[in-house]
Structure 1
Amino acid sequence: MANEKEPFTSSKAPEPVGLYPHARRVGNLLFLSGVGPRERGTKQIPGVELDEAGNIVAYDIAAQCHAVFRNVRYILEEAGSGWANLVDVTVFLTNMKADFTIYNQIYAEYFKDNQPCRTTVEVNRLPTPIAIELKCIATMGAPEKEEAA
C-alpha cells in the first residue's frame, strides 16, 4: 500500500458496490470496508440461487462463508497485511437462527490460530443478495510475536 490514508482497492476481491475503497490504512491499522462473498468481475455469489426478479430462492451459508473469508484474505494480503494480523471482525448475518451454527463452525476453522475480537449481529438485509458480510480491522506488516509469560 503506497501512502497512509490512501484508499486501497484489491485486484482480486469483488468490486465495491458503491463509492468506497476496499481498505484504508491509518497509522499501523488497516480498516476494511464491508466485504461480501461475491466474485470479482461478475455478479455471481457462491451458493446463491436467485429468481428472475433477483430475489433469493435458496442459499448455502457455508459456500458464502468460505467465499467471504477468501475475499478478506485477498484484500489483507494485497494491502500488505495478512490473516494473522486481524484484530477485530464484525460479522453481519441476515438469518442468525438458521445460519449461526454453520457460520460459527467455519469461522472456528479459519480463526483457530488467530483469534481477533468478534461481534456477530443479525441484519434485515445487505445491499446485495448475500447472507453474510464482514467488517475487519488488521495491523500492518508481520504479526507481532507473543512474549512468553
Structure 2
Amino acid sequence: MTITTDKFNTEKAPKPVGLYPHARKVGNLLFLSGVGPRQAGTTKIPGVDLDEHGKIASYDIEAQCRSVFDNVRTILEASGASWMDLVDVTVFLTNMDDDFAIYNKVYAEYFADNQPCRTTVEINKLPTPIAIELKCIAALSE
C-alpha cells in the first residue's frame, strides 16, 4: 500500500526555523509542525522584549498564546483544514508555574467550540525566544 503525502507551507505564517513544512497531510490526517507565536514575515514575537544579547527580558504569555493560536488557524486554513478539524494539541510551555493559568484561560476562549485532546508539558527552552509552542493534529473529511 502506498500512502500519499502532501506538504503545505504558507507565507501567512512564520517561516519554519528549520527544514520542515508547516504541515503535512497523510491520508485524512494533517500534522502541523511545531508552531510558535512569531509574526509572519518578521522575527517579531508579540509580547516579547529582548535584551541587547537577544535573551528574553520580559514577555506577555497572553499575547504569545493569542498569536500562536492565530498562527495555527492560519496554517490549518492554508492546508485546506479548519479549526474545528483539530483532534489533538500538544502544548509546550517554558514556565508552567507562572504561565499555565493565563494560557489555560486563553485556550478556553479559542477552544470553546472544539475541544481536541490536549497535553501540556513544561520544557526548558524552545529554539527561539518564545514561551509557548503547539504541535497539532487535525482529522480531515475525505
TM-score after normalising by structure 1: 0.91
Measured after TM superposition, the shift of residue 26 of structure 1 is 0.3
Which sections of structure 2, spanning at least 5 residues, go unmatched? none
Which sections of structure 1, spanning at least 5 residues, go unmatched? 143-149
1:14 aligns to 2:14 (yes or no): yes
Give 1 or 2: higher strand fraction: 2
Which runs of at least 4 in structure 1 moved beyond 3 Å after TM superposition?
none
The match for 1:42 is: 42
| 1:34 aligned counterpart, secondary structure | strand
Measured after TM superposition, the shift of residue 6 of structure 1 is 2.3
Query: Are the equivalent residues in 2 in contact too, given 1:81–1:141 (CA < 8 A)?
Result: no
CA RMSD of aligned residues (A): 1.3
Distance in 2 (CA, whole Å) between partners of 1:141 and 1:71 is: 22
Measured after TM superposition, the shift of residue 141 of structure 1 is 4.3
Measured after TM superposition, the shift of residue 128 of structure 1 is 0.1
Aligned residues: percent identity?
Answer: 71
| 2:121 aligned counterpart, secondary structure | strand
Aligned length: 140
The match for 1:69 is: 69
